[in-house]
Amino acid sequence: MRRTKGLLIDLDGVLVQGKEMKPLPGARDFITFLRDRHMPFRIVTNNSTGSPAGIARRLRKKGISVSDHTVISPLGICPQVFRDRSVEKVFVMGTRELKDALSAEGFHVRTDPGVDAVLVAQDRTLNFEEIKTAITALRENGAALFSMNDNKAILDDDGLLFAGAGAICRMLIYAADYHRRFVHFGKMGDLYNNTLFHQLSMEKEALAVISDDLYTDIKGFQEEGLMGIFLTTGKYRKTDITEETRPDLVFDRLSELMDFIRRGGFHP
Ligand SMILES: [Mg+2]
């Protein structure tokens, strides 16, 4: 049995729930518990709007005591990649908050197809005009396609599903005959994972991921060599576990996971 020395903690469905980032039961205690034990951790999120510092600030306001550098979000990665690739003008399919953040970083956020890049993010107000602009930018103007994450579908607060940024990108790729490599800044992407594993510089076998997502997070990080700890407080239930998705541990509450760690479960 391996010894777990560091944790990746998914945000939505583990520590908080929904757009308003409402803390889930036990979230505050769990983070305090890890800090008291000096257990290294990173909060790993595909949140496509907030910077690491912005997300950390929101969490602290809700009593979840994390410092800025413990949050890894796509917006913490995107600006440097744009600079490396000489992207100046960008068309953004995303929220006002994201557009403002990119403008503040010095990029020209445009509303016409004459851009260097199209950036897809989670957006509940996506419309026909935006889809037309994006396809035209990619197909006619040679813009490069980027995405904040590779999410397939998102469970909205009303219980219905909408297309995630990854799904929107697949539509654009098909419509625009886009043949270049699709780059995203989210979990399981090279850029995100390199940042994460560089920061938590320990062997992957000494790390565990805690998530409500059986596929991208549990299965994805298990394939990287991490232990997968599934929490049923988010989008999937125990009955969703299949042959294909086999978490190493399953808990219904963060308090149960805390008891497990207290009993020495990570140091057999
Ligand atoms: Mg989640």
Distance 210 CA to ligand 1 centre (A): 9
The mean per-residue pLDDT over the stretch 201-206 comes to 93
Considering the chain, what percentage of its residues have pLDDT values greater than 90? 88
Q: How far is the CA of 123 from the centre of ligand 1 (A)?
A: 17
How far is 97 from 152, CA to CA, in rounded Å?
22
pLDDT of residue 154: 84
What is the token pair recorded at 195?
A: 């940042």
The whole-number pLDDT of residue 1 equals 62
Would you state the pLDDT for residue 211?
A: 97
Q: How remote is the CA of residue 116 from the centroid of ligand 1, in Å?
A: 32
In whole angstroms, give the CA distance from residue 194 to residue 69: 15
pLDDT value of position 158: 86
Query: What's the CA-to-centroid distance between 63 and ligand 1, angstroms?
Result: 19
The Cα 25–Cα 206 span in angstroms is 27
CA of 259 to the centre of ligand 1 (A): 22
Spell out the residues 6+ positions from residue 206 whose beta carbon is closer than 8 angstroms to its own. 2, 3, 4, 5, 6
Q: Tell me the CA–centroid distance for residue 100 and ligand 1, in Å.
A: 25
pLDDT at 153: 87
pTM (two decimals)? 0.91
Instruction: Tell how far the Cα of 103 is from the centroid of ligand 1, in angstroms.
Output: 28
Contact 88, 125 (CB under 8 A): no
Calculate the average pLDDT of the chain. 95
Output DSSP code: residue 116: S
Tens-place pLDDT, residues 5-15: 999 999 999 99
Centre of ligand 1 from the C-alpha of residue 211, in Å: 6
pLDDT at 204 over 90: yes
Residue 45: CB atoms within 10 A of its CB come to: 25
Cα(212) to centroid(ligand 1), Å: 5
Q: Distance, CA 114 to ligand 1 centroid (Å)?
A: 35
Residues with CB under 5 A from ligand 1 (ion): 10, 12-13, 212-213
User: pLDDT by residue (tens digit) across 43-97?
Assistant: 999 999 999 999 999 999 999 999 999 999 999 999 999 999 999 999 999 999 9
Tens of pLDDT along 129-173? 999 999 999 999 999 999 999 998 887 878 888 999 999 999 999
Which pLDDT value is given to residue 19?
82
CA–centroid distance, residue 16 to ligand 1 (Å): 9
Using pLDDT thresholds of 50, 70 and 90, give the confidence band for residue 205: very high
Cα 115 to ligand 1 centroid, rounded to whole Å: 32
Inter-residue contact 1 to 268 (CB < 8 Å): yes
Q: What is the pLDDT of residue 268?
A: 72
What is the whole-number distance in angstroms between the Cα of residue 138 and the centre of ligand 1?
31
- Helix (H/G/I), strand (E/B), else coil: 82: helix
Q: Which residues of 180-217 are buried (b: 16+ CB within 10 A; e: fewer)?
A: eebbbbbbbbebbbebbbeebeeeeebbbbbbbbbebb
